Structure 1
Amino acid sequence: MFKITTSELRDLIIAFIFISLSFSILYSGRNVEMLKSIFPVTMIGLGLGFILHELGHKFTSMHYGYWAEFKLWPAGLIFALVSSFFGFVFAAPGAVYTYAGSYLDDKTNGIISIAGPVVNIVLAIIFLLIGAAIYIPAHNNSTMLFIFISCCLGFQTNSYLAVFNLIPIWNLDGSKVLRWNVIVWIITIAIAGIMTYASMTIGAENIIRMIMGL
């Protein structure tokens, strides 16, 4: 049974707010007026990706019969907020802990680990498709424009979250996926890498225009 405890829900909400605020400070250049307009966009485009990434790990763990719970790392929250004032964000507000007893085999651990990045890849594609669907009306409607901007940021940040977490270093997801299956790791990080490269060089809006043949 998929269950979220009250304390876990509290931790997820706090992490969601802090991550969204930290990146909003970064994107706004510490401009208060700009921060007000960027914050809701960041919550949708980036904060949502972070939360669903963690829930991807949690629900995959629980699918295999393990109890898993997101736990806040208070020091990580402070680092994220403080670092945003110095031109970068150290985003490590917490993580999902899987309670598997004494042993978790490489395959299961790899599947649990890849779930988060896959969620980000799928979410990035969904953001791109929604952006394409509302591209025309976004030019004449402020609400649609807000959603479109959120989708562009969502594609960019979720692509990056996927490729970053798939780097096979430290305790990132990539090291566990690589230990399980090299081919799966190569395919997944290649997809995330191409999406990230495209978002950084072509830009989400231009990709959408290409999709629409404009």
Structure 2
Amino acid sequence: MIRFTKTEVRDLLISFIVISLSFAILFTGRNLASAIYILPIAMVGVGAGFILHELGHKFASIHFGYWAEYKLWPAGLVIALVSSFFGFVFAAPGAVYTYGNFVSERENGIISISGPIVNIILALIFLGVAVFIYPAAFYSGSLQIAFLVCSLGFSINSYLAVFNLIPVWNLDGSKVLRWNGLIWVITIAIAGIMTYFSMTIGVENIVRAIIGL
């Protein structure tokens, strides 16, 4: 049975707001006025990316019969905000904690990879929508905003996937790598390629290449 405690809902909401603001600061070049302006747009990508990433962990834990609960990390919230002023976001405002008498390495690996996989899928969905609406966005202000939302959604989710798959500290990547090295290589390669292109040529150029413009 899927249950959320009041503390868990509070922690998710606080983390969601802080991580959204951090990415808004990052994508506006540390311009706070512009960051506040695009915050609602960033929230869509982060809302889908961050919240569903954590729910991916939670649902996978429940699938194996464990209790799981998200808890924020206060220091992580501060680090996320501060790091955004230095050109990146240390996106670790908290984590889903799985409680069980014995969680096998395989189960822990599957639980850990579920979050990044959610981000990869979401990034591809955002990219697919961006490709679909791009030709019409030239003639519609609302579709231009939708395209911006999709662009940020692709970039943010790609970044969240590759960041969490880094095999250091207590990030997902370290647990996935211990479980299955091949799966880790494949997933971080996919996430890494997506992030690289979003940060170098940009989402619009990716879309134009896909549709042949």
Same fold at TM > 0.5: yes
Q: What's the offset of the Cα at 1:88? A: 4.0
Structure 2: how far apart are the matches of 1:49 and 1:157?
7
Paired position in structure 2 for 1:84 = 84
Paired position in structure 2 for 1:183 = 182
Q: What's the offset of the Cα at 1:74? A: 2.0
Residue by residue over 1:84-138, the C-alpha shift from the partner in whole angstroms, topping out at 9 and shown as x without a partner, is 345443332111000012x211100000000010000000000000111111222
Question: Which deviates more from structure 2 when the two are superposed, residues 159-168 or residues 26-35?
Answer: 26-35
Trace 1:55-204 onto structure 2 (pairs within 5 A).
55-101=55-101, 103-204=102-203
Structure 2: how far apart are the matches of 1:89 and 1:200?
14
Specify the code of the residue in structure 2 equivalent to 1:126. Answer: I
2:98 is paired with a residue whose SS is strand
Change (3 A) 1:87 1:213: closer
Q: Contact conserved, 2:91 with 2:163, CA < 8 A, in 1?
A: no
Change (3 A) 1:56 1:152: same
2:208 is the counterpart of 1:209 = yes
1:2 is paired with a residue whose SS is coil
Q: What's the offset of the Cα at 1:27? A: 2.8
1:17 is paired with a residue whose SS is helix
Structure 2: how far apart are the matches of 1:88 and 1:185?
23
Q: What's the offset of the Cα at 1:30? A: 4.3
Structure 2: how far apart are the matches of 1:195 and 1:86?
22
Structure 2: how far apart are the matches of 1:92 and 1:166?
12
Specify the code of the residue in structure 1 equivalent to 2:199. Answer: M
Give me the CA root mean square deviation. 1.6
For structure 1, list consecutive stretches of 5 or more residues without a partner in the other structure: none
Q: Contact conserved, 1:27 with 1:38, CA < 8 A, in 2?
A: no
Question: Which deviates more from structure 2 when the two are superposed, residues 109-118 or residues 187-196?
Answer: 187-196
Q: Contact conserved, 1:16 with 1:48, CA < 8 A, in 2?
A: no
Specify the code of the residue in structure 2 equivalent to 1:164. Answer: F
Identity of aligned residues (%): 66
2:9 is the counterpart of 1:43 = no
Q: Contact conserved, 2:119 with 2:158, CA < 8 A, in 1?
A: yes
Question: Which deviates more from structure 2 when the two are superposed, residues 30-39 or residues 91-100?
Answer: 30-39
Residue by residue over 1:10-62, the C-alpha shift from the partner in whole angstroms, topping out at 9 and shown as x without a partner, is 21111101111122223334434312321112111234311111111011001
Q: Contact conserved, 1:19 with 1:47, CA < 8 A, in 2?
A: no
Structure 2: how far apart are the matches of 1:91 and 1:190?
19
For structure 2, list consecutive stretches of 5 or more residues without a partner in the other structure: none
Structure 2: how far apart are the matches of 1:187 and 1:22?
28
Change (3 A) 1:197 1:137: same
> May I ask how many residue pairs the two structures share in their alignment?
213
- Give the TM-score, by structure 2 length: 0.93
- Give the TM-score, by structure 1 length: 0.92
Residue by residue over 1:155-206, the C-alpha shift from the partner in whole angstroms, topping out at 9 and shown as x without a partner, is 1121111111111111111111111111111111111111112222222111
Q: Contact conserved, 2:56 with 2:114, CA < 8 A, in 1?
A: yes
Specify the code of the residue in structure 1 equivalent to 2:201. Answer: I
Structure 1: how far apart are the matches of 2:197 and 2:39?
24
